[in-house]
Amino acid sequence: MSNDILFSVQNGIGIIQLNRPQALNALTHDMCIPLEQTLRKWATDAAVKAVIIKGSGEKAFCAGGDIRKLADRGPEGVQYRKSFWYDEYRCNTLIGEYPKPFIALIDGIFMGGGVGLSVHGSHRIISEFAHFAMPETGIGLFPDVGGTYFLPRCPGELGVYLGLTGARLKGADILTAGVATHFVPRTSMATLEQALIDTAPGDKASIDAVVAKFTADPGPSQLAERKAEIDRRFGGDSVAAVMTALETDPSPFSIEQAGIIRAKSPTSVKLTFAQLRRGRSLSLRDCMKLEWRICNHVALGHDFYEGVRAVIIDKDHKPKWQPARLEDVTDAEIEKYFTPVADGELQFD
């Protein structure tokens, strides 16, 4: 088994440690396979009362998937994408449906795939160094790993705002969005983990009682102060309506957000909006099945590879999107992303 992900059981608590600190604990397919296998084993093991997941190092919980590898257009890249997304989405679903408390200790960056390993669990505990984002529209992708499910369930229109703009949050703002459940300072994180191991609580209430001893006030939330404005601007029934609301409002915030969205992949923006509206009424499993369809269609297009080139490989930050304008992306084109794919549906055991 790879040392990139480590597993142990201490006093009835299963411990998962993402162990690629040099790569900000980015998730690979080789990590997904043992993760799913171990979680399934622990789910039926009476000796395991709860699960903790954490990252190595002080910089990141998990900065996402290995995007460079996912964007390889060669034959190996094609197979890697399919295998990675398939098994990653199964892990996301397993965490969301887990029969035991699942506790994420998030002390650093968590974006994309890192969000998928934490947000679906029962307890998402952040420190002041936690940084959250779902930045996929900026690389021609879409907020996956269950974004279809959890973003529409953020308060008001915060999920649409986060999905379209890729806004980065920290501290109290992550709590306001509902992405995290508790705030614990970095200086108390290790002590909290040891307290959980020592007491081995097996139910949510008992874990809450332990965590409560370590929680602190994260301070004011700028996102909470902006929420009413975000709800007004991002509550339209189409991307066009959202853009009109933003571009006809003279406030600096609206002007800035309109510019941010205009710089993203137009296809990704419209796809994300449609995805999140559909997700409001779907179960987690159905959301993950939908994302499996979407990612396979995205892999056949242009913008994902162009976005990765511009942002991650060449770093010129000048992507040439196709189409280049929101107004040129039709609803009919977006609908194609939700249709079944040749490889069949995402399956669950």
- Residue in 136, 193, 291, 306 annotated catalytic: 136
* CA 71/CA 305 separation, integer angstroms: 6
- Residue in 14, 55, 64, 113 annotated catalytic: 113
113 in active site: yes
57 in active site: no
- Residue in 36, 144, 157, 193 annotated catalytic: 144
136 in active site: yes
Between the alpha carbon of residue 251 and those of residues 40, 173, 229, the distances in Å are 50, 21, 10
- Residue in 65, 108, 147, 171 annotated catalytic: 65
HEC secondary structure over the chain: CCCCEEEEEECCEEEEEECCHHHCCCECHHHHHHHHHHHHHHHCCCCCCEEEEEECCCCEEECCECHHHHCCCCHHHHHHHHHHHHHHHHHHHHHHCCCCCEEEEECCEEECHHHHCCCCCCEEEECCCCEEECCHHHHCCCCCCCHHHHHHHCCCCHHHHHHHHCCCEECHHHHHCCCCCEECCHHHHHHHHHHHHHHCCCCHHHHHHHHHCCCCCCCCCHHHHHHHHHHHHHCCCCHHHHHHHHHCCCCHHHHHHHHHHHHCCHHHHHHHHHHHHHHCCCCHHHHHHHHHHHHHHHCCCCHHHHHHHHHHHCCCCCCCCCCCCHHHCCHHHHHHHHCCCCCCCCCCC
65 in active site: yes
130 touches 108 (CB < 8 A)? yes
Task: Tell me the pairing of strands 13-18 and 123-126.
Answer: unpaired
Which residues does the annotation mark as catalytic? 65, 113, 136, 144
